Amino acid sequence: MRTARVTEATPDASFLYERLADELGELVTRGVLRGGDRLPSVRRLSEERGVSVATVLAAYVLLEGRGVAEARPKSGHYVRARSAADPPVPSVARRAASPARVSTAAGADDLIRAMIDGRGLVPLGCAYVASELLPLRKLNGLLAAVAREGAMLGGGYDELRGTLQLRRQLARRAVAWGTFLEEDDFVTTLGASEAMHLSLRAVTKPGDIIAVESPAYFGLLRLIEGHGLRAIEIPSDPRTGLDLDALDDALRTAPVRAVLASPNFSNPIGACMPDENKERLVKMLTRREIPLVEDDVYGDLAFDGTRPRPAKAFDTAGIVLLCGSISKTLAPGYRVGWVAPGKFRDAVEKLKFAHSVASPTPTQMAVAEFLAEGGYDRHVRKLRRVLAAQSQIYREAIARHFPEGTRVSRPQGGFVVWVEMRGARNAVDLQLRALDRGIAIAPGPIFSARQRFADCIRISTGHPWTPRIERAIATLGELAR
């Protein structure tokens, strides 16, 4: 086992035992340690690392809490066996033959509202990371400093493209995404939602047909509905994402005006499109001059630690509108997002002005400071290790508690899992009964333009594992029977 990680100077405030637990957890995530492997004895690890016995013990307890390790009486600590518990993944999602208007199930909006505004509920519905996993104290501290020091902050409207300091930081980060973008290639937005909204408005008009993944994030479907567009649902493979052959077929048979996709850790299934697929996708669309609206909000949260490139990295003609935000990694409530709209920049900028003039300056400034200060990479490194472990724990719990034959997606990043329950036929009903029991989930049909996936639910894995969540998963399993 490498020792470099623990002994290196780490400027962040996490405790030694947490770092040790993170490191061991990562070895499990990466498959170096597997289910059933014995962990080093407390004494041996203490000597090897030059840390106290108490520190090692605390790390092991933490790993137990996270469901990664288990203590066996008189034998020591072991990596929890997974193979038996690891559930099968859903089959390739089903295919839509023809374009359809997005139809909202009666009451679906109430369901979304319950899911999002559901304070006090067990938070398995809305896709956000638990506050305690986010660097809110630091970010809020930077906001306080920005507000204290910028005497005239907020006087006058911001630049139409957004705060320059933030766009500079985004241009700097874009290099890590494998793209080359300059500060003027960005327009900042109110989260990625507004970025997608403006992008769709810029490249389509009501009645147009667009291609979307199936299942797709319900927020995107609501946008499509709101814009009066029709959607062709393209099946999405749980591992490699959008089925490009199916997309190719669709492009041949219908006048598709834009494609909407999340190549990196698509919500809800968590697929990651291989680079060669991204390249093929962009080439296919460039040839036909069809814009790609790319949702990359989960890109920084790869479980294996390698930040995948966005499809934008393969864009030579400016047809990709890359949408991102800090909502999944720093602070959803700051509503800071952006779009790099390629050749549609002027159109997007014009729409941004018409819709909301500009975004708020103070929150953008604070995020720019956070990105500039250099703590972002370290934070994200830690966050994705935690999320990888949580994802696995949730998956196993679902396998334990749900009926035989249940399939669970095996995401490669992000913090949602997609659960396919054999024989179940009414996920909306399941959601309502879960709400009655104080549990929020997202029902399958809201992820489809035609209300498919009645046998599926999406479960958020963004909250640390607790007995309360375990009980909620058990309750859901009962309700699913």
Binding site for a copy of itself (CB under 8 A): 109, 112-113, 116-117, 126, 128, 130-131, 134, 136-137, 139-141, 143-145, 147-148, 150-160, 189-191, 193-194, 197, 201, 205-206, 219, 222-223, 225-226, 228, 327, 331-336, 346, 350-351, 353-363, 366
Rounded-to-integer distance, Cα 73 and Cα 233, Å:
52
Whether 209 contacts 232, CB under 8 Å: yes
Whether 265 contacts 412, CB under 8 Å: yes
Which is nearer to a copy of itself, 216 or 336 (by Cβ)?
336
In 3D, which of 472, 481, 474 has the Cα closest to residue 121? 472
Which is nearer to a copy of itself, 191 or 413 (by Cβ)?
191
Which is nearer to a copy of itself, 41 or 140 (by Cβ)?
140
Which is nearer to a copy of itself, 56 or 366 (by Cβ)?
366
AA identity, residue 459: I
> From the CB of 115, what's the least distance to a copy of itself, in Å?
11
> From the CB of 189, what's the least distance to a copy of itself, in Å?
8
* Residues paired with residue 69 on neighbouring β-strands, in sequence order: 79
> From the CB of 157, what's the least distance to a copy of itself, in Å?
5
Which is nearer to a copy of itself, 338 or 402 (by Cβ)?
338
Rounded-to-integer distance, Cα 195 and Cα 106, Å:
27
List all residues 6 or more positions away from 299 whose beta carbon is below 8 Å from its beta carbon: 177, 264, 265, 307, 308, 310, 324, 413
- Supply the angle between the helices 16-29 and 375-401 in degrees, to the nearest 10: 60
Which is nearer to a copy of itself, 55 or 188 (by Cβ)?
188
In 3D, which of 253, 216, 262, 251 has the Cα closest to residue 235? 216
AA identity, residue 139: L
- How far lies 72's CA from each of 22, 75, 78, 288, in Å? 21, 5, 7, 60
DSSP-derived secondary structure letter, 184: G
> From the CB of 2, what's the least distance to a copy of itself, in Å?
33
Which is nearer to a copy of itself, 273 or 336 (by Cβ)?
336
- Supply the angle between the helices 467-480 and 427-436 in degrees, to the nearest 10: 130
> From the CB of 228, what's the least distance to a copy of itself, in Å?
7
Rounded-to-integer distance, Cα 165 and Cα 154, Å:
15
Rounded-to-integer distance, Cα 327 and Cα 275, Å:
25
> From the CB of 217, what's the least distance to a copy of itself, in Å?
12
Which is nearer to a copy of itself, 164 or 432 (by Cβ)?
164
> From the CB of 389, what's the least distance to a copy of itself, in Å?
20
Which is nearer to a copy of itself, 197 or 401 (by Cβ)?
197
Whether 410 contacts 297, CB under 8 Å: no
> From the CB of 46, what's the least distance to a copy of itself, in Å?
34
> From the CB of 18, what's the least distance to a copy of itself, in Å?
19
